[in-house]
Amino acid sequence: MYIKKIVFAISMIGLVVMGGFSYYIYNIMFASNTTFNQEVKYIYIKTGSDYNDLMQELRKHLKDPSSFSVLAKRKNYTNNIRPGRFIIKKGMNNNEIINSIRSNNVTVDLIFNNAKNIHDLASIVSKQIEADSISLADTFFEKNNGFNDKTLLSMYLPNSYNFYWNTSSEDFKKRMLKEYENFWSIDRLNKTKEISLTPTEVMILASIVNEESKEISELSTIAGVYINRLNNNWLLQADPTVKFVAYKDPKYKNTVIRRVLNKHLRIDSEYNTYIYNGLPPGLISMPSITSIDAVLNYENHEYFYFAADPENPGFHNFAKNLREHRSNARKYQKALSKKGIKK
């Protein structure tokens, strides 16, 4: 009888221990271990990070960091940290979290447009992937692939691209070069020959067209005006090139030139198309793909001039001769004066 009691007691203790152990294992592996109320959280693990670095990022999102570490060691994750952008969903358990940040590197939609220069672009891109702005602004790669200081932006076509967050600057640039090469298809290259411009010259002209109007319906018409001027050896006399030059002067910092004046037209710069014939030596902005295609598919017409239409903001009045243009220009200048816009 005494022995039976001992056996029973030992059995009960064993059951309690086993139950406690099972509960412990369950909590470690299968109990929810997230603290946030949002549906998902993104975890960013930098290249070269170790387990301590990971926990600096992850700890604030876990109810019980210790239980996570126990399982991470058990699954040999602590020695196999991978960089990237990972999703943790609300209510995930430790096992699910580890599986997600071990193998489910999620991409980002990298978007850029309207960058003013390579440094501006580097700043925009570095906010979206791991690569830093200093390495992105380095121009060795571009210059090694046929671009120069004045045509650097040509390699970067504004769009939305799918990248892994932990992409390096070199891999980003390689991808952009590939996108550039793919963009210049046989069809587009044939069109450059038809208008007697190189791809770079097309992009330079597109950068001007891009600054002239945001109305897509007008872009090919504006491009046609500049093609007519180029073909007839006229000065382009493009106001955006004058503004581009003026904005390089510190006194115009944080200002908007709404009215191009004679003092602007007299600025001596190879980018000033009121002084120097032909296209400027480089891009004045990052042209949209729509603007590039507008140049390649410019409207064939007899217009040589255009002026902003005061009655239709954003649109222009086009003219075939100087008399018509002066009439259109006076209407616009009168409208500016009426609004008190003097510069």
- Answer yes or no: is 16 within a domain: no
Question: Is residue 225, in this structure, part of any structural domain at all?
Answer: yes
Task: For residue 2, tell me if it sits in a domain.
Answer: no
Q: Other CB atoms closer than 10 Å to residue 6's CB: what's the count?
A: 9
Same domain, 129 and 207: no
- Are residues 124 and 92 both part of a single domain? no
Q: Number of folded domains in the chain?
A: 3
Q: What is the pLDDT of residues 223-253, one digit of tens each?
A: 999 999 999 999 999 999 999 999 988 888 7
What are the pLDDT digits (tens) for 126-172?
Answer: 999 999 999 999 999 999 999 999 999 999 999 999 999 999 999 99
Residues 204 and 145 in one domain: no
Q: Do residues 275 and 306 both lie within one domain?
A: yes
- Residue keyed to tokens 């064939």: 300
pTM: 0.87
On whether both 47 and 171 belong to a single domain, the answer is: no
Range of the domain at 120: 110-183
158 falls within a domain? yes
155 and 191 share one domain: no
Decide if pLDDT at 221 tops 80. Answer: yes
Helix (H) or strand (E) segment spanning residue 86: strand 84-89
Same domain, 199 and 171: no
Choose one of 157, 183, 209: the last residue of a domain.
183
The SS3 assignment for 116 reads coil
CA 23, 25, 29, 35 torsion-angle sign: positive
**Which value, in Å, is the radius of gyration of the alpha carbons in the chain?**
31
Domain boundary among 103, 121, 137: 103
CA angle 89, 94, 95 (to 5 degrees): 95
Q: Are residues 177 and 316 in the same domain?
A: no
* Residue 176 sits in the same domain as residue 193: no
Distance, CA of 84 to CA of 289 (rounded, Å) = 30
Q: Indicate whether 5 belongs to any domain.
A: no
In this predicted model, which residue has the larger pLDDT, 123 or 29? 123
Q: What is the CATH number of the domain that holds 90?
A: 3.30.1490.480
Q: Check the CA dihedral 48-50-52-55 and report its sign.
A: positive
* 12-30 pLDDT per residue, tens: 454 444 444 444 455 556 6
Assess whether pLDDT exceeds 60 at residue 335.
Answer: yes
Q: Do 197 and 71 reside in the same domain of the chain? A: no
Same domain (yes/no): 156, 240: no
Whole-number Cα distances in Å, 130 to 125, 164, 166, 175: 9, 9, 5, 15
Please report the beta strands in 104-231, taking only residues with DSSP state E, as ranges in sequence order.
Answer: 107-112, 159-164
Q: Is residue 21 part of a domain?
A: no
φ, ψ (nearest 5 deg) of residue 76 = 60, 30
Q: Is the pLDDT of residue 59 over 50?
A: yes
User: Is it the case that residue 78 has pLDDT exceeding 90?
Assistant: yes
Is residue 219 located within the same domain as residue 87?
no
Task: Among 103, 137, 159, give the residue marking a domain's end.
Answer: 103
Percent of the chain with pLDDT over 70: 91
